[in-house]
Amino acid sequence: MTDFLQLLISGLATGAIYALAAIGFTLLWQTSQTINFAQGEFVMVPAFMALIAMRWFGVPFVASLVLAILASMLLLGVAFRYIIVGPMERAYYEASGGLAKFDQMVSQGSLTIVHQNPGTVIYAVNLPAAGQ
């Protein structure tokens, strides 16, 4: 019975995470008619921030979640808008009449690489080579 309850709670937690990611995709699509390929990384970064705050600095769980949410809003929202998308819009707005959807998707896809690599380096992820 305890195994069943553990599986049930784990399944509900995993489903809630998938639901939040789906809501993020839907909200982004409805507001800007574009797809963010870095959506998973936008979920991964605050989770790793909370984990680092708890393990390395001994911050309590709830405080680490609040700090991770605030830091990720600043890092991912403001920085992405003003460092990556803003300059692209200014550079291409006059020439093409606006930032093309393809350019937005490429810039968001590049964030996937930028966010995944530090995560694999910090947590020493060893990916198997092809054919293993």
Residue 132 lies in a domain: no
Question: Could you read off the pLDDT of 53-108 as tens digits, one per residue?
Answer: 999 999 999 999 999 999 888 887 787 778 777 777 666 665 555 556 666 666 66
Q: Taking Cα atoms as reference points, which of 97, 74, 93, 95 lies closest to residue 85? A: 93
* Residue 62 DSSP class: H
Contacts of 16 (CB under 8 A, 6+ apart): none
39 and 73 share a domain? yes
Question: Secondary structure of the chain: what % helix, strand, coil (to 5)?
Answer: 80, 0, 20
Q: How many domains does the chain have?
A: 2
Q: Which whole-number Å values give the CA distances from 56 to 49, 79, 121, in the listed order?
A: 10, 25, 16
112 and 51 share a domain? yes
Q: pTM for this structure? A: 0.58
